[in-house]
Amino acid sequence: MCGIFGYIGNNKQAADLVLTGLKSLEYRGYDSWGIAAVNEGGRILLEKKTGKIGAAEFNFKNHSRIAIGHTRWATHGGVTVANAHPHLDCTGHFALIHNGIIENYDEIKKALLKIGHRFISETDSEVAVHLLEENYKSLIKKNKTNSQDSLFVEALKITFSSFRGLNAVIVLNAKNRTFGAAKNGSPLVLGFGNKENYLASDSQAILPYTNKLYFMEDQELVLVTKDQIKVFDLISGKEKSIKPVSVSWKTETEDKGKLPHFMLKEILDQGKVIKNIVTDSDENIKKFASLISSSFGTYLVGCGTAAYACLTGTYIFSKIAKKHVNFSVASEFGYLIDFLTEKSLVIGLSQSGETIDLIDVMKKAKERGVKLGAIVNVLGSTLYRMTDNKLLLNAGVEKAVVSTKAFTAKIAHLLLIAYALTGDINKGKTELRKAVEILEELFKPSSLNAIKTLATKLYRHKNIYIIGRGISYPIALESALKIKEASYIHAEGFAGGELKHGVIALVEKGTPCLAFLPNDETYFDTLSGVMEMKARGGFIIGIGFKNHEVFDEFINSGDCQMASGIPNVVVGQLLGYYLALCHGVDPDKPRNLAKSVTVK
């Protein structure tokens, strides 16, 4: 969470450059944004605003060759201008931006207040800049011989080492016109230019300027000037020799064309994405299949939508490959890893490859010597870099905060891996091709209009319940998530069999009840659940391969056997999208969310 961008060099439009960088990072948080630059007299110029950056502009009176900026996803403190980053120390020497959570901020703040520091915000982040000011001041007092740069590095080292939690901070030192940054957990990338340097939370923001990158490791600290970047070990304080990498990655840009939202574009992209997966080389699919078959226990781990893809995977592997794979939500997996051994395999699934709950637990598994794999969309992301075995989703940039095509791309890959385990990868490809044909039908204007009309019938309801069994259970969960996050309607997915164990108490006359009924062994059991809901007055929306008289509404999602989760979830995605429109929500940036969740 939180986008970070910094520039230092000869370009006098540093602040504009930072604004451009922030726009490309806004998906990391859009509660507020802010930029700090330095005028010729060494004074910090600050611009902070709440809300999305959109077409924001600003007018610093002086041009600056150094600037940092931040887009915020609020953790500590509400969405206000005061709480927006950067934060300044009492003397106007330092401007600081932060990503993460300083877990022990309250005790540090109390101590700083006692010695007279003035706080403007309610954030944990602001303590960092005041503590830095304090540490720098006392080092200056004690030490007259060392250079200001080395005292700055030392002060930042002491300051950062007092924080508990996973954090990254970047400090603009207005007097020396340098940046200092330290990291433990949250991602930071440095870009090496010609007499100019860059710093960002994401390589994509730097790639338009340079492809010479260094991905900071945890427990590293850097000092950045326009001419050089020095990296230090945070524990020993010793300078490290590092090698930047020259990457051949391109800046991935995505245009929504004439479509009103990225979410719709990305839903409609899914046919093409799956077609590409089918025609891609099988090499990595087979590699993952052999990794799984040679491991003693495979665990699929992810968060949110990625977690539901993992859960879908457990059904896919059981049905197709007769193989038990385990599933865990990444934030819980850390409490379950005591039994992992060197023979275990943990596969992290992620769109961004930056989700901290996942990265954190992958690191813990790595420390136990466990084999790691990654199924990830973003090339060069932390997850991509930390694993030897990686499979790129190749779904293209996903811009809408609500994840869609990355989910179906994960399902398609898991399906092919499961079929590869049986030695019949082509069967998987046939099913995926059939899924593409069904999607083409679903994306015809008449089908889209039918779902849109359905949304207009449902949007005034406060609750929507969704059931599915077997592979359709995680599809019900994922569809409910799409509806919740895009439209703010309370939607809940259930295992069809659980209905009568409590949930049915919520069904009353007119309650919208969605049921997934693909052509598989779950059909008749799910249909019984549908009857039970109907008997209580539920308004039944059947999604499946054939209509039934019990349905009040029916959406045909065809039959593509084990790939049926793909068209079924697409119906859920479209319903979420159209419900969002009915509620006037921007489905690309729903409230309170961020595309990349890099705090715990």
Residue 513 among the catalytic residues: no
The burial class, CB within 10 Å (0-12 / 13-18 / 19+), for 367 is: exposed
Q: Is 167 in the site for ligand F6R (CB under 6 A)?
A: no
Q: Binding residue for ligand F6R (CB under 6 A) from 11, 125, 355, 387?
A: 355
Binding span for ligand F6R by CB under 6 A among 232-240, 350-358, 440-448, 525-533: 350-358
Sequence letter at residue 396: G
Q: Is 598 in the site for ligand F6R (CB under 6 A)?
A: no
Q: Is 597 in the site for ligand F6R (CB under 6 A)?
A: yes
Q: Report CA dihedral (339, 340, 345, 349) to the nearest 10 degrees.
A: 80
Footprint of ligand F6R on 448-507 (CB under 6 A): 481, 485
Angle between helices 270-279 and 405-422 (to 10 degrees): 30
| Residue 350 Cβ vs ligand F6R, minimum distance, rounded to whole Å | 3
| Residue 303 Cβ vs ligand F6R, minimum distance, rounded to whole Å | 4
Footprint of ligand F6R on 279-318 (CB under 6 A): 303-306
Residues 6+ apart with CB under 8 A from 93: 133, 136, 173, 174, 175
| Residue 511 Cβ vs ligand F6R, minimum distance, rounded to whole Å | 24
Q: Give the single-character DSSP code of 589.
A: S
Footprint of ligand F6R on 378-437 (CB under 6 A): 402-403
Taking residue 280's Cβ as centre, other Cβ atoms within 10 Å add up to 16
Q: Is 351 in the site for ligand F6R (CB under 6 A)?
A: yes
Q: Give the single-character DSSP code of 318.
A: H
Residues 6+ apart with CB under 8 A from 582: 455, 456, 459, 487
* Residue of 2, 303, 513, 560 with catalytic role: 2
The values of phi and psi at residue 374, to 5°, are: -135, 135
Closest CA to 315 of 191, 415, 458, 230: 415
Please state the three-class secondary structure of 366-428 as a single string: HHCCCEEEEEECCCCCHHHHHCCEEEECCCCCCCCCCCCHHHHHHHHHHHHHHHHHHCCHHHH
| Residue 30 Cβ vs ligand F6R, minimum distance, rounded to whole Å | 14
E strand or H helix at 274: helix 270-279
| Residue 392 Cβ vs ligand F6R, minimum distance, rounded to whole Å | 13
Calpha distance 44→63 (Å, rounded) = 12
Binding span for ligand F6R by CB under 6 A among 115-123, 198-206, 344-352, 453-461: 344-352
Q: Binding residue for ligand F6R (CB under 6 A) from 128, 289, 320, 358?
A: 358
Residues 6+ apart with CB under 8 A from 210: 191, 192, 193, 198
Query: What distances in angstroms separate CA 186 from CA 101, 102, 148, 306, 599, one per listed residue?
Result: 10, 12, 27, 20, 8
| Residue 363 Cβ vs ligand F6R, minimum distance, rounded to whole Å | 15
SS3 527: helix
**Contact status, residue 5 vs residue 33, Cβ threshold 8 Å:** no
Total number of residues that touch ligand F6R (CB under 6 A)? 14
Residue 457 among the catalytic residues: no
The b-or-e profile of 206-228 (16+ CB within 10 A means b, else e) is bbbbbbbbbbbeebbbbbbbbee
| Residue 401 Cβ vs ligand F6R, minimum distance, rounded to whole Å | 6
Q: Which two tokens stand for residue 441?
A: 């039908």
Q: Binding residue for ligand F6R (CB under 6 A) from 295, 350, 526, 557?
A: 350
Please, which residue, 358 or 543, has the CB nearer to ligand F6R?
A: 358
* Residue of 366, 429, 595, 600 with catalytic role: 595
Calpha distance 574→447 (Å, rounded) = 10
Q: Binding residue for ligand F6R (CB under 6 A) from 184, 203, 352, 487?
A: 352
How would DSSP label each residue in 143-200? -SSS-HHHHHHHHHHHHHHT--SSEEEEEEETTTTEEEEEEESS--EEEE-SS-EEEE
Q: Which two tokens stand for residue 422?
A: 């049986």
Please, which residue, 50 or 403, has the CB nearer to ligand F6R?
A: 403
Residue nearest ligand F6R by beta-carbon distance: 304
**Contact status, residue 308 vs residue 407, Cβ threshold 8 Å:** yes
Catalytic residues: 2, 595
Binding site for ligand F6R (CB under 6 A): 303-306, 350-352, 355, 358, 402-403, 481, 485, 597
